Amino acid sequence: VASPFHAMGRFPPRFFAPRIGILVTLGLALGACQVAKPARAAAPAEIVQWNGAQSSVTHATQRVLRDEAAWNAFWPEVRQAQPRAFDPAREMAVAVFLGERRTGGYTVRVVSATPQDGQLVVTYQESAPPAGSLVTQALTYPWTLAVLPRSPLPVMFRPAHPTQPSPAQK
What is the predicted pLDDT for the residue at 29?
45
Radius of gyration (Cα) for the chain, nearest Å? 26
pLDDT of 44 over the 70 cut: no
Encode burial over 83-118: b for 16+ CB neighbours within 10 A, e otherwise: eeebeeeebbbbbbbbbebebbbbbbbbeebeeeee
What is the predicted pLDDT for the residue at 161?
73
Position 14 confidence tier, pLDDT thresholds 50, 70, 90: low
Give the list of residues 6+ apart from residue 116 with CB closer than 8 angstroms, or none: none
